[in-house]
């Protein structure tokens, strides 16, 4: 990389890190507050289905040495977190961080995979439409994309399972990770594809990429490129594709994370979304907080990527 | 209805002792060893030890990993387990158990298997009762005064007072002294709760990323090596997918089949649907703090208004029986002479009129200006359309007799707070799951009214209280039976609940698995006898 | 083969054609379809409000559970309680109507305000806004909604309020971006040089002349999103609650029987969702192209 | 002019279509021009007279429809002789009504394909172009050095990166950009308009084209820079003798650089000839529009004679509505009663009134 580009990148990097820290603080606080407002003592999950009076209920906190006041709870959590200790799940007693890392990787695969699929669908259509306008080829594809992105994702999931697995048995239906069937990976492709298609953003992505590219195509410097017989694509690539795509990635990650909550349950995918869901119902606050942290960091990663690319690509540096 | 089940853990036994015959290394029954059984669970296990675990999923797994001093066999009889014999004192206050000497704990990896001794029993009891240990078991063992070791292979329990069928209570699972890292009490942070060590037929090998629990046969099991090599518990988050998984041989067994999936599985020759009579029943409970519902006639009217047969048939394919009273059907305490109140809207209306209600202009019954409109609170759960059906049908039935019911769905924790803490409801739908017991004191005794207690309806009746106490105190089985029959009749008449039905639970499994006997509550109690013929062990 | 032809010999200087004559046929088709859907929604809303339905949507008939279309005079069949699906579909839209509008109102109003501040005042406000954006973006929305529901109650309005708030950043950044663009083109400076008061510049020249398409599209997409979110929530059990029908909880309830080959209970509402959302998207697209005069250059 | 011209445009028509008015914009309506080798042809005219469109048509850079619809563009360099619109007419069918084209059916895909096949090898190599608004015409994401290097590697023998870079730096030097090695790395946003234009010129010339099209090279730059750029162009011209098509609305620039001049009005050439004839402020016969243009320019002579600058009355012709007769009739101040009917009635054609000097005006026809 050219030395000229290093400085803005370093700048962007430091800026991002500072922002992320602030953000994690904010997220943790907000989430904790909502948790606190919602009824149900996290520790009552330990007494699920037992006949014990109020006294022993109250006793539990002392038994576990958990602070009573919510802010005390938050602060102690924060303190531990800064020491790198995310605490242990109230329900399973397992160390939160390890658990999240384990399932987080699955969710990462799912999310990025489906994002990739979304882009693989959207980019060609968008570029074609941008350069040639609505043609016999691009128009039906766009429509198709619009249609699928308007379907409820879990219903799409059932549909896929019914048609491809139940009816035609194209994929093995296996559950969990210990399935030793052949072509098992095929099954793991299914949820990724479903989320990639059904996350409801394909149409939006197409529209955005198309507009950006056609805007750039009308720029003077593209005309210059043509006039000197250079490759239009090479000149349009950075502003017309690279930047918009990174923007998409950055802005869609949280959205797709949300979709993962559903898809992971439909396809029995051992992921973070499912864990978050369970934890939210148990008020298992160490887990929820941990997930909030990881998710936030994950989202930041997207925008980090974005501003890095922008800094690297645009000599003017991150701010326009 | 997984979540709506409020589990009451109490205990009973038919008192008969059978002398123990100690067994050899491997079963000599000529049935073939080997094969794998993967079974699907809806939800994921939290902890896997017998003390902190409080969900059915975990209870089922601990049943495979641990033993008690005594066990209860398929005929509901008490048989030796870790103890090969026992002696009870005349006054019934002391029980001495003489332990088997040939039992070893599951070996930790890279370690010698340690022998099971009296110390482990004492240790288990102490850790169970330690104030810092959070366990549903504690309340069940408060009747014990102390436990002493009578040598390496004998322990003696002293009871505070003699109680009936005390023996059965010693079926609690024993954990090893060298198990938990904290010798005093057990919390969920303790590694032991995720990697338990037992004496049971199966050794917990490992837990995968998706919390799949993998169990392997214990070669040195005290009843001889179990037939099936490996059990795999697979958690599911979607019941539709779980039954698909069975259909596509991703799993071999579903512990509890969702009623809606029964027809499909029934039609499939590859699978066996095995009913097991869970000691549980569903009911609508009324909040007697509401003056409208304090009147017995109103409650009876509601019960008359509801067509339970129709619901049972339409929603659950007739897989269950209508009940009339507070005891789990199939338990000895259930009074078969008491008939459920029949479906009879006319009767219901008559009763309401009798109670002073007259149809208002909007068709809703009212009494001196007060409308008979009530809130029915139901906890939200995923895929709970069975619950929705019952609730909405109920609403519909009551509408027909001029009662307005507002159905309010609430998030589970919020619902529990409303019902158990605030007592802020008129009607709820729930179901009790008993382990193997006939003790309903916590449900209807007036002393059980209060925050987080089970008598959330606030039902208080000195006569009932009297009978409950009496039945508790009597030491004679037959006497207690008659008392409970009286209790049953009384509560059926009082109708603090509208007793609905007990559903037949169905387990579905691939027919390659043979000789499957199921414990109604702990499920896997007899799993060491299950087997898969050589030819089908793929 | 593209065809151009001039009709009149003499063209009057000043009169332009009305926009629908300029517009491309595809765009017109989009908008037409979109408007069709919108009217359909409005009509069914009216029908529901006026109780002009084939059946009482709450009428349970236990003898007729999940009946296939046509049986017993039920055009689209019945659901898991034997209730008429068609009637429930018609009434179902009401579940989204006001809540959806609420969500849109929140996200558009707050989003616009923030966007204007960010874009117009720029500098100091900007980081705050983006901070808020990231804050909202940084947690799976569904779980957030669950917590809020738990904290208050499973009411579609609460859900939509959350949806609205979480939608704010998107709108804000759109508007802010647009304004920055106008700044670069020295549009705003020019306007203020002309001595226009700030609020006029913002309201009239920025928002009305330059952002209305953005806002319209935001609104249409917002409605679609509201429906999809409610559907996802319904799958988890936290959408609109029975007995109130919503397309989401209809799909969910029906889907439980989907894999047993009973399609109709979930397919009908799923298609309703599909075509409606498609309508909103196309409406947005068409309007965008027409008002922004895309494809004409 | 005995040697065959380097570029010979015959009867070029480039139309656009206004959807809102459902009418053609006849931006270039039958233009014929030619440039001899080494010569500089200046094209002058008000904005909207079709100068730029003509230039873009030559390079085939018209993207909107229908675009170029008829004509010939003959290019004859050392390496190639060909008509740039070679058998493209087959993709177009024209429908006329009373002498006006009222219908155009064009297979744009086919046209594009073929045009690209022809132009692909010429753009930048044989014909290079520099634009007005140089700042936006440079790619903001690529350093100017690299943009020039790209052109060099595309079109010259210097294919290896190092060589091409050296060459680029050489060109930066040639266009008088100081400390070119440093500038090589800099981006358009960091440079002044003049700098950018110099870079553009360097980029255009670096491929050593046979024809350079300079479209309003000085417009939008402040006066001192303008003259600097003009000087630079003049110098480069004398040095390399590159054939140039110079487009400007600024007569002083034109007169400074061009040997012959074409005056365009309303999409047609109204006067065409040697610069000295066309631009001489004397009473040499010329088109009223040219006269008006000249009168509107502050030249030394006007100032000496204390003559007032005259503005051209009326508005620039919009090429949507073409009058029946002379396009300039409405604004012409030299209509005599004798010819008024003709002027209003029908359009004059371009006639040679003195050797090499053509005018499109009834004044000069008997």
Are A161 and B234 in contact (CB < 8 Å)?
Answer: no
* Whole-angstrom distance, CA of residue B204 vs CA of residue B198: 9
Chains B and D touch (3+ CB pairs under 8 A): no
Residue D169 has a pLDDT of 92
When CB atoms are compared, the residue of C2, C10, C17 closest to D22 is: C17
Q: State yes or no: pLDDT of B13 exceeds 60.
A: no
Which residues of chain A lie closer than 8 angstroms to D141, CB-CB? 238-239, 313-315
B400 in C contact zone (CB under 8 Å)? no
Neighbouring CB atoms inside 10 A of C78's CB total 27
Report whether pLDDT(B313) > 80: yes
Strand partners, C4: D104
For position A146, what pLDDT does the model report?
84
Cβ contact A230–D151 (<8 Å): yes
Q: How many CB atoms lie within 10 A of CB B141?
A: 17
Q: How far apart are CA B224 and CA B201, in angstroms?
A: 8
Q: Check pLDDT > 80 for residue A157.
A: yes
- Choose among A221, A227, A313: nearest Cβ to D124: A227
Query: Is the pLDDT reported for residue B7 higher than 50?
Result: no
User: Smallest CA–CA separation between C289 and chain D, in Å?
Assistant: 14
C7·D320 Cβ contact <8 A: no
Task: Cite the beta strand spans of B100-201 per DSSP E.
Answer: 144-149, 154-159
pLDDT value of position B437: 65
Q: What's the pLDDT tens digit per position in A234-271?
A: 888 888 889 889 888 888 888 888 888 888 888 888 88
Closest CA to B307 of B380, B394, B382, B245: B394
Q: Which residues in chain C are closer than 8 Å to A200, comparing Cβ atoms?
A: 225, 228
Give the gap in angstroms from C-alpha D100 to the nearest C-alpha of chain C. Answer: 9
3-class DSSP state of A170: coil
Question: Counting beta carbons within 10 angstroms of the beta carbon of residue C226, is it exposed (0 to 12), middle (13 to 18) or buried (19 or more)?
Answer: buried
DSSP label at residue B99: E
The answer on pLDDT for A64 being more than 80 is no
The minimum CA-CA distance between B121 and chain A, rounded to whole Å, is: 24
How far apart are the C-alpha atoms of D91 and A320, rounded to whole Å?
45
CB atoms C17 and D20 under 8 Å: yes
Query: Other C-beta atoms within 10 Å of D337: how many?
Result: 6
Q: State pLDDT tens for residues A8-60.
A: 778 878 877 888 888 888 888 888 888 888 777 777 777 765 655 566 666 67
Tell me, what's the pLDDT at A319? 38
Q: Tell me the nearest-neighbour CA distance from A308 into chain C, angstroms.
A: 17
Q: Is B414 on the interface with C (CB under 8 A)?
A: yes
Rounded-to-10 torsion of CA A96, A100, A102, A106: 160
* A140 interface with C at CB cutoff 8 Å: no
Q: Nearest by CB to A175, from B6, B211, B251: name it.
A: B251
pLDDT tens, residue by residue, A77-89? 888 888 888 888 8
Beta-carbon pairs below 8 A across chains C and D: 58
Is residue C220 within 8 Å of residue C284, measured between CB atoms? yes
**What end-to-end distance do the CA atoms of chain D give, in Å?**
27
Per-residue confidence (pLDDT) for residue A312, from 0 to 100: 80
Confidence band, pLDDT 50/70/90 cuts, at residue B203: very high
With an 8 Å Cβ cutoff, are A270 and B211 in contact?
A: yes
Using CB atoms, pick whichever of C24, C235, C251 lies closest to residue A262: C235
Q: What is the pLDDT of residues B133-186, one digit of tens each?
A: 888 888 788 889 999 999 889 999 999 988 877 888 899 999 999 989 988 888
Q: Residue B363 has what pLDDT?
A: 86
Do D65 and C16 lie within an 8 Å CB cutoff? no
* CA gap A281, A279 in Å, rounded: 5
| Per-residue model confidence as pLDDT tens digits over B342-397 | 999 999 999 999 999 999 888 899 988 888 999 999 988 877 788 899 999 999 99
Is pLDDT above 80 for A186? no
Q: Which of C142-146, D150-154, D201-205 has the lowest mean pLDDT?
A: C142-146
Q: d(Cα B217, Cα B227) in Å, to the nearest integer? A: 8
Average pLDDT value for residue range A287-296: 87
User: Which residue in chain A is spatially nearest to D128 when comparing CA positions?
Assistant: A228
**Residue located via tokens 């989907």:** C258
Q: Measure C255 CA to nearest chain A CA, in Å.
A: 7
Q: Within 13 A of A247's CA, how many CA atoms are on the CB side? A: 18
Please tell me if residue A227 touches chain D, with a CB cutoff of 8 Å. Answer: yes
Which of A24, A150, A157, A203 would best serve as a mutation to test chain C binding (most C beta carbons within 10 A)? A150
From the CA of C10, how many Å to the nearest CA of chain A?
31
Torsion-angle region of residue A268: left (phi > 0), alpha (psi -120 to 50) or beta? Answer: left
**pLDDT value for B429:** 92
pLDDT digits (tens, 9 = 90+) for B216-264: 999 889 888 999 999 999 988 888 888 888 888 888 999 999 888 888 8
A7 touches chain D (CB under 8 A): no
Put simply, whether the predicted model's pTM sits higher than 0.90 gets the answer no
Q: What are phi and psi of C97, to 5 degrees?
A: -55, -70
Give the relative orientation of helices C264-291 and A153-160 as an angle to the nearest 10 degrees.
130
Is pLDDT of D55 > 80? yes
D88 Cα to chain C: minimum distance (Å) = 14
Contact B413 A92 (CB under 8 A): no
Nearest CB to D131: which of A224, A230, A235? A224
Q: Which residue of C has its CA nearest to B394?
A: C60
Please report the pLDDT score of residue B232 as a whole number: 92
Dist CA B231 CA A274 (whole Å): 24
Q: What is the pLDDT of residue A183?
A: 60
Here the tokens at position B64 are 């495979």
Given a cut of 90, whether residue A279 has pLDDT beyond it is no
Q: Which residue of C has its CA nearest to A283?
A: C147
SS3 category, B17? strand
Q: Which residues of C touch D105 (CB under 8 A)?
A: 1-4
Instruction: Give the nearest chain D residue to A317 (CA atoms).
Output: D141
With an 8 Å Cβ cutoff, are D103 and C1 in contact? Answer: no
Structural contact between residues B253 and B39, judged by C-beta atoms closer than 8 angstroms: yes
C-alpha–C-alpha distance, residues D261 and D279, integer Å: 8
Cα–Cα distance list, A157 to A161, A270, C220, C252 (Å):
6, 16, 26, 12
- Which residue carries 């066309």 as its tokens? D278
Give the model's pLDDT for residue A57: 66
Whether residue D224 lies within 8 A of chain C, CB to CB, comes out as no
Contact B69, B81 (CB under 8 A): yes
DSSP at B474: -
CB contact (8 A) between residue C235 and residue A276: no
Distances C275 to B490, C29, C279 between C-alpha atoms, Å: 58, 15, 6
Which one-letter DSSP state was computed for residue C103?
H
Q: Do A152 and C251 touch (CB under 8 A)?
A: yes
Partners of residue B395 in chain C, C-beta under 8 Å: 243
- Return the residue of C nearest to D320 by Cα: C11
Task: For chain A, say whether B241 makes contact (Cβ under 8 Å).
Answer: yes
Considering only CB atoms, which residues of chain D are within 8 Å of chain A?
59, 61, 120-125, 128-129, 131, 133, 136-143, 150-151, 154-155, 185, 187, 189-190, 200, 203-204, 207
**pLDDT band at B15; cut points 50, 70, 90:** very low
> With an 8 Å Cβ cutoff, are D137 and A4 in contact?
no
The tens place of each residue's pLDDT in chain C, 297 residues long, gives: 777 877 766 665 555 566 666 667 778 888 899 999 989 988 988 888 888 888 888 888 888 888 888 887 888 889 888 899 999 999 988 888 888 889 999 999 998 888 888 877 766 667 777 778 778 877 777 777 877 877 777 788 888 888 888 888 888 888 888 887 777 777 767 777 777 777 777 777 777 777 777 787 778 778 888 888 888 888 888 888 888 899 988 998 888 888 888 888 999 999 999 999 889 888 888 887 787 665 433
- Closest-CA distance, C192 to chain B, in angstroms, reads 54
D123–A228 CB contact, under 8 Å: yes
Torsion sign across C-alpha atoms A282, A288, A291, A296: positive
Q: Tell me which of A201 and D151 has the higher pLDDT.
A: D151
Quick check: D239 pLDDT over 80?
Answer: yes
Phi–psi pair at B452, nearest 5 degrees = 60, 20
Q: Taking Cα atoms as reference points, which of D123, B522, C219, C209 lies closest to residue A228?
A: D123
Taking the CA of residue A56 and the nearest CA in chain C, the distance in Å comes to 24
Question: A171 vs A184, A185, B252, CA distance in Å?
Answer: 8, 9, 19
D283 band by pLDDT with thresholds 50, 70 and 90: low
Residue B17 has pLDDT above 60, yes or no: no
CA distance B514 to B34: 12
Give A94-148 pLDDT, tens digit per residue. 889 888 888 888 888 898 999 999 999 899 988 888 887 767 777 888 888 888 8
Q: What are the tens digits of pLDDT across the range B390-415?
A: 999 999 999 999 999 999 998 888 88
Q: Are D359 and D287 in contact (CB under 8 A)?
A: yes
The neighbour count for residue B287, using CB atoms within 10 Å, is 23
C-alpha separations of A262 from A102, A266, B243, C162 in Å: 19, 6, 18, 18
Nearest to B238 among A90, A268, A283 (CB): A268
The DSSP secondary-structure symbol of D190 reads G
Give residue-wise pLDDT tens across range B471-517. 888 888 888 889 999 999 999 999 999 999 988 889 999 999 999 99
Judging by DSSP bridges, how do beta strands B271-276 and B70-72 pair with one another? unpaired
CA distance, residue B188 to nearest chain A CA (Å): 4
State whether C60 and B243 contact (CB < 8 Å). no
Separation in Å, CA A193 to CA A116, A125, D25: 10, 18, 49
DSSP, res A95:
B
- Averaged pLDDT, D340-350: 83
pLDDT at residue number B127: 93
**Exposed e or buried b per residue across B320-334, where buried means at least 16 C-beta atoms within 10 angstroms of its C-beta:** bbbbbbbbbbeeebb
Interface of D with C in 292-331 (CB under 8 A): 318, 320-321
Q: Whole-number mean pLDDT of chain D?
A: 84
């Amino acid at each position: 990389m050219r030395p000229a580009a290093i400085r803005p990148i370093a700048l962007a990097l430091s800026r991002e890190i500072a922002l992320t820290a602030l953000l994690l603080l904010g997220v943790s606080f907000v989430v904790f507050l909502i948790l606190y407002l919602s009824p149900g003592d996290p520790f009552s999950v330990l007494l699920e289905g037992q006949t014990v009076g109020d006294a022993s209920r109250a006793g539990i906190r002392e038994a576990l040495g958990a602070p009573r006041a919510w802010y005390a709870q938050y602060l102690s959590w924060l303190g531990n977190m800064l020491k790198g200790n995310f605490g242990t799940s109230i329900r399973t007693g397992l160390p939160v961080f390890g658990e999240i890392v384990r399932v987080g990787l699955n969710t990462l695969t799912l999310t990025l995979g489906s994002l990739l699929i979304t882009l693989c669908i959207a980019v060609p259509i968008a570029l074609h439409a941008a350069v040639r306008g609505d043609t016999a080829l691009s128009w039906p594809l766009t429509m198709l994309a619009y249609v699928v992105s308007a379907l409820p994702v879990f219903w799409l999931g059932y549909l896929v399972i019914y048609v491809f697995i139940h009816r035609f048995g194209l994929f093995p239906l296996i559950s969990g990770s210990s399935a030793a069937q052949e072509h098992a990976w095929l099954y793991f492709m299914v949820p990724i594809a479903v989320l990639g298609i059904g996350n409801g953003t394909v149409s939006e992505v197409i529209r955005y990429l198309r507009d950006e590219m056609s805007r750039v195509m009308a720029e003077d410097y593209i005309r210059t490129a043509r006039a000197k017989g250079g490759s239009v694509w090479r000149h349009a690539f950075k502003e017309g594709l690279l930047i918009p795509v990174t923007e998409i990635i950055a802005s869609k990650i949280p959205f797709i994370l949300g979709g993962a909550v559903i898809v992971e349950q439909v396809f029995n995918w051992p992921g973070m979304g499912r864990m978050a869901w369970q934890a939210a119902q148990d008020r298992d606050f160490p887990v929820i907080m941990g997930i909030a942290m990881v998710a936030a960091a994950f989202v930041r990663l997207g925008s980090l990527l974005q501003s890095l690319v922008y800094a690297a690509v645009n000599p003017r540096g991150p701010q326009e | 209805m997984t979540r709506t089940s409020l589990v009451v853990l109490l205990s009973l036994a038919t008192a008969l002792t059978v002398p123990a015959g100690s067994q050899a290394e491997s079963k000599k029954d000529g049935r073939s060893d080997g094969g794998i059984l993967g079974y699907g669970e809806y939800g994921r296990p939290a902890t896997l030890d017998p003390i902190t675990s409080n969900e059915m999923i975990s209870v089922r797994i601990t049943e495979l990993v641990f033993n008690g001093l005594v066990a209860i066999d398929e005929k509901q009889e008490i048989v030796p387990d870790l103890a090969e014999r026992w002696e009870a004192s005349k006054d019934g206050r002391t029980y001495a158990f003489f332990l088997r000497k040939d039992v070893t704990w599951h070996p930790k990896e890279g370690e010698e298997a340690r022998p099971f001794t009296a110390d482990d029993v004492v240790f288990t009891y102490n850790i169970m009762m330690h104030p810092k240990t959070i366990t549903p078991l504690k309340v069940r063992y408060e009747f014990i005064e102390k436990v002493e070791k009578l040598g390496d292979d004998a322990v003696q329990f002293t009871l505070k007072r003699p109680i009936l069928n005390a023996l059965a209570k010693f079926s609690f699972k024993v954990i090893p002294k060298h198990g938990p890292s904290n010798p005093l009490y057990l919390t969920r942070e303790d590694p032991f709760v995720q990697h338990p060590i037992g004496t049971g037929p199966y050794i917990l090998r490992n837990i995968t990323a998706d919390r799949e629990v993998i169990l392997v046969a214990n070669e040195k099991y005290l009843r001889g090596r179990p037939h099936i090599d490996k059990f795999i518990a697979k958690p599911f988050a979607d019941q539709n997918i779980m039954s698909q998984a069975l259909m596509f041989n991703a799993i071999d067994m579903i512990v509890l089949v969702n009623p809606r999936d029964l027809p499909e599985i029934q039609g499939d020759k590859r699978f066996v649907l095995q009913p097991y009579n869970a000691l549980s029943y569903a009911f609508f409970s009324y909040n007697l703090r509401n003056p409208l519902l304090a009147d017995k006639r109103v409650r009876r009217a509601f019960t008359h208004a509801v067509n339970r047969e129709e619901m049972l048939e339409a929603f659950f394919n007739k897989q269950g029986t209508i009940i009339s009273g507070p005891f789990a059907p199939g338990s000895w305490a259930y009074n078969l002479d008491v008939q459920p109140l029949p479906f009879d809207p006319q009767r219901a209306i008559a009763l309401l009129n009798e109670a002073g209600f007259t149809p208002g202009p909007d068709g809703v019954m009212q009494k001196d200006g007060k409308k008979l409109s009530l809130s029915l609170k139901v906890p939200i759960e995923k895929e709970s359309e069975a619950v929705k059906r019952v609730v909405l049908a109920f609403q519909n039935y009551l509408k027909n007799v001029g009662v307005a019911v507002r159905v309010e769905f609430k998030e589970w924790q919020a619902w529990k707070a409303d019902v158990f803490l605030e007592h802020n409801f008129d009607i709820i739908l729930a179901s009790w799951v008993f382990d193997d017991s006939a003790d309903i004191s916590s449900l209807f005794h007036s002393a059980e009214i209060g925050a987080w207690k089970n008598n959330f309806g606030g039902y208080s009746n000195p006569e009932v209280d009297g009978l409950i106490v009496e039945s508790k105190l009597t030491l004679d089985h037959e006497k207690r039976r008659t008392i409970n029959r009286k209790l049953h009749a009384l509560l059926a008449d009082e109708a603090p609940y509208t007793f609905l039905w007990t559903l037949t639970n169905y387990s579905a499994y691939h027919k390659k698995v043979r000789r499957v006997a199921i414990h109604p509550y702990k499920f896997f109690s007899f799993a060491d006898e299950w087997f898969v013929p050589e030819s089908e062990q793929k | 083969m593209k065809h151009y032809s001039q009709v009149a010999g003499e063209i009057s200087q000043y009169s332009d054609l009305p926009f629908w004559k300029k517009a491309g046929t595809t765009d017109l088709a989009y908008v037409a379809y979109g408007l069709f859907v919108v009217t359909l929604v409005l009509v069914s809303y009216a029908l529901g409000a006026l109780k002009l339905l084939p059946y009482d949507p709450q009428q349970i008939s236990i003898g007729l559970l999940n009946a296939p279309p046509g049986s017993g005079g039920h055009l689209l069949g019945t659901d898991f309680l034997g209730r008429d699906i068609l009637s429930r579909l018609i009434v179902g839209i009401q579940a989204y109507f006001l809540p959806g509008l609420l969500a849109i109102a929140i996200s558009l109003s707050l989003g616009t305000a923030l966007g204007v501040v960010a874009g117009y005042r720029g500098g100091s406000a900007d980081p705050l806004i983006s901070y808020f954006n990231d804050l909202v973006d940084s947690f799976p929305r569904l779980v957030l909604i669950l917590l809020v529901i738990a904290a208050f109650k499973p009411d579609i309005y609460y859900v939509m309020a959350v949806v609205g708030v979480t939608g704010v950043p998107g709108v804000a950044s759109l508007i802010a971006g647009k304004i920055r663009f106008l700044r670069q083109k020295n549009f705003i400076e020019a306007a203020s040089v002309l001595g226009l008061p700030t609020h006029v510049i913002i309201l009239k020249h920025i928002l009305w002349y330059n952002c209305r398409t953005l806002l319209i599209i935001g609104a249409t997409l917002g409605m679609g999103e509201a429906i999809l979110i409610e559907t996802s929530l319904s799958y988890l059990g936290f959408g609109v609650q029975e007995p109130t029908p919503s397309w989401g909880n209809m799909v969910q309830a029906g889907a439980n029987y989907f894999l047993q080959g009973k399609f109709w209970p979930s397919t009908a509402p799923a298609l309703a969702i599909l075509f409606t959302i498609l309508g909103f998207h196309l409406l947005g697209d068409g309007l965008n192209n027409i008002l922004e005069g895309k494809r004409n250059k | 002019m005995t040697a065959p011209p380097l570029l010979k445009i015959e009867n070029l028509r480039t139309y656009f279509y206004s959807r809102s008015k459902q009418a053609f914009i006849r931006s270039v309506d039958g233009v014929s021009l030619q440039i001899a080798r080494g010569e500089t042809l200046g094209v002058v005219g008000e904005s909207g007279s079709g100068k730029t469109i003509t230039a873009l048509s030559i390079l085939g850079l018209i993207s909107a429809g229908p675009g170029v619809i008829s004509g010939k563009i003959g290019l004859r360099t050392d390496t190639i002789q060909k008509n740039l619109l070679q058998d493209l007419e087959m993709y177009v069918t024209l429908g006329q009504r009373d002498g006006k084209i009222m219908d155009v059916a064009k297979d744009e895909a086919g046209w594009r394909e073929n045009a690209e096949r022809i132009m692909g090898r010429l753009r930048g190599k044989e014909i290079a172009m520099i634009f007005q608004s140089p700042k936006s015409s440079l790619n903001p994401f690529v350093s100017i050095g690299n943009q020039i290097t790209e052109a060099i590697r595309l079109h010259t023998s210097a294919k290896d990166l190092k060589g091409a870079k050296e060459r680029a730096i050489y060109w930066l030097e040639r266009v008088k950009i100081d400390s070119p090695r440093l500038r090589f790395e800099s981006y358009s946003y960091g440079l002044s308009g003049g700098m950018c234009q110099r870079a553009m010129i360097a980029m255009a010339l670096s491929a050593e084209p046979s024809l350079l099209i300079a479209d309003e090279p000085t417009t939008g730059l402040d006066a001192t820079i303008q003259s600097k750029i003009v000087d630079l162009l003049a110098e480069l011209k004398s040095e390399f003798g590159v054939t140039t098509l110079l487009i400007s609305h600024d007569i002083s620039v034109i007169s400074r650089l061009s040997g012959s001049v074409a005056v365009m009005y309303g999409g047609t050439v109204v006067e065409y000839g040697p610069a000295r004839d066309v631009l001489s402020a004397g009473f040499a016969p010329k088109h009223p529009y040219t006269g008006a243009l000249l009168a509107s320019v502050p030249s030394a002579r006007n100032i000496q004679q204390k003559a007032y600058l005259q503005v051209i009355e009326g508005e620039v012709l919009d090429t949507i509505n073409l009058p029946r007769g002379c396009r300039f009739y409405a604004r012409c101040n030299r209509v005599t009663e004798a010819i008024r009917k003709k002027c209003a009635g029908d359009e004059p054609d371009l006639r040679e009134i003195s050797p090499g000097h053509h005018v499109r005006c009834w004044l000069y026809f008997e």
